[in-house]
């Protein structure tokens, strides 16, 4: 069902792009918009991960430079039956994480140093399990392509402010459609994809980590921290908000993510379904290692992914 919904939503975005092209340039404009959308999708397919990681100035880490963080991701990837993704850290106090890549074989996961500073080890594992669920569901490519097309629609609509067609296509009604309706509709479609995928990734992450309550706890901490600490990347490119585990602002009708409180409630319901009364062990590269609640504070990672 999620796959069919995504195909329909991506088709709707492409149709909006073509409709906007027709409004501004007739049949020729529609064909140009379709060709441009196809080229954007092709370029994004091959370069999405590099674009996103460079945008965040992320640096790759390994078992030597961030042993604990890397081991958590390795253990979770093995448990999920996924190839080991590339692992990145972002030197930023803004607490967040995301996954990118065109498929599981070419995936990357990233977390900020701000995230590692406020989450304990179980919570870090739960967050990375959520990101690996996005990889497993092949959400990363879809979300990047959707954000690209939605951004292009907004760009073309802004261009429409200065466009006047020779056959009177620049009338007031057409300009309202081009400048207001199309970007708004594109934003709604983008939000619909993101919100659907976040719920699915929360459940998938809970199943991979076996610890839905840790993910619920992490979401509460991250939402509070992301709301307080600005994110320079989304300040420059608001479409990037759809990539993160939390949006980095207050929840609203126009948020790319579901309400955090609703996600937390759903995760607690999943924990009840799984019959969990206390947090289970955390996945590591060497297997499952139990961390008693009394030791959680000391099991946190430093900004370089090492045990404190």
In a 13 Å sphere around the CA of 203, the CA atoms on its Cβ side amount to: 11
Scored b (16 or more CB within 10 A) or e, 164-191 reads eeeeebbeeebbebbbeebbebbbebbb
pLDDT at 241: 81
Q: What is the pLDDT of residues 119-147, one digit of tens each?
A: 999 999 999 999 999 999 988 877 767 76
226 contacts 96 by C-beta, under 8 angstroms:
yes
| pLDDT tens-digit series, residues 10-51 | 777 778 778 777 877 778 888 888 888 778 777 877 887 898
The vertex-235 CA angle with 11 and 238, nearest 5°, equals: 10
**Class of residue 34 by CB neighbours under 10 A (exposed 0-12, middle 13-18, buried 19+):** middle
> What is the pLDDT confidence band of residue 166, given thresholds at 50, 70 and 90?
very low
d(CA 139, CA 101): 9
CA distance 130 to 99: 9
pLDDT (tens digit per residue) in 238-289 = 777 888 999 875 445 557 788 899 999 999 999 999 998 655 544 444 343 3
Domain boundaries, the chain: 2-299
Flag whether the pTM goes above 0.85: no
Q: Is the pLDDT of residue 178 over 50?
A: yes
Binding residues for Zn(2+): 130, 134, 198
Got the DSSP string for 109-166?
A: EEEEHHHHHHS-HHHHHHHHHHHHHHHHTTHHHHHHHHHHHHHHHHHHHHHHTT---T
Has 131 been annotated as catalytic? yes
Angle at 246 between CA 245 and CA 248, to 5 degrees: 140
Per the CB < 8 A criterion, the answer to whether 156 and 148 are in contact is no
Name which residue leads in pLDDT, 196 or 54: 54
pLDDT greater than 60 at residue 167: no
The model's confidence at residue 53, banded by pLDDT at 50, 70 and 90, is very high
Sequence ranges of the binding site: 130, 134, 198
Return the pLDDT at 98: 95
Beta carbons within 8 Å of 115's beta carbon, 6+ residues apart: 95, 96, 97, 124, 127, 222
- C-alpha–C-alpha distance, residues 184 and 157, integer Å: 10
Give the per-residue pLDDT at 261.
93
| DSSP 8-state secondary structure symbol assigned to residue 287 | E
Q: Tell me: the pLDDT tens digits for 78-110?
A: 999 999 999 999 999 999 999 999 889 999 999
300 pLDDT band (50/70/90 cuts)?
A: low
Of residues 278 and 166, more confidence is placed in 278
Catalytic residue among 60, 122, 123, 131: 131
């Amino acid at each position: 069902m999620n796959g069919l919904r995504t195909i329909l939503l991506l088709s709707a975005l492409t149709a909006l792009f073509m409709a906007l092209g027709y409004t501004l340039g007739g049949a020729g404009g529609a064909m140009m918009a379709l060709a441009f959308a196809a080229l954007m999708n092709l370029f994004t397919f091959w370069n999405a991960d590099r674009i996103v990681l460079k945008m965040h100035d992320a640096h790759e880490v390994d078992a030597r430079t961030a042993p604990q963080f890397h081991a958590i991701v390795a253990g979770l990837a093995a448990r999920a039956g996924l190839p080991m993704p590339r692992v990145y850290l972002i030197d930023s106090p803004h607490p967040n994480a995301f996954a990118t890549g065109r498929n599981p074989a070419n995936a990357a996961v990233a977390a900020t140093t701000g995230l590692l500073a406020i989450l304990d080890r179980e919570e870090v594992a739960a967050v990375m399990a959520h990101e690996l669920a996005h990889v497993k569901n092949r959400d990363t490519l879809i979300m990047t392509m959707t954000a690209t097309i939605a951004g292009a629609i907004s760009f073309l609509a802004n261009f429409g402010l200065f466009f006047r067609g020779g056959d009177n296509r620049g009338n007031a009604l057409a300009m309202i459609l081009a400048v207001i309706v199309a970007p708004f509709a594109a934003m709604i479609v983008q939000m619909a994809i993101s919100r659907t995928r976040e719920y699915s990734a929360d459940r998938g992450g809970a199943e991979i980590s076996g610890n839905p309550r840790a993910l619920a706890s992490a979401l509460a901490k991250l939402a509070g921290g992301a709301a307080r600490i600005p994110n320079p990347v989304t300040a420059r490119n608001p479409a990037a908000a759809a990539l993160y585990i939390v949006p980095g602002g207050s929840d609203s009708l126009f948020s790319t993510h579901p309400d955090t409180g609703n996600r937390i409630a759903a995760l607690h319901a999943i924990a009840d379904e799984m019959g969990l009364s206390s947090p289970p062990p955390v996945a590591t590269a060497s297997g499952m290692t139990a961390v008693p609640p009394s030791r959680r504070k000391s099991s946190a990672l430093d900004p370089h992914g090492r045990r404190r």
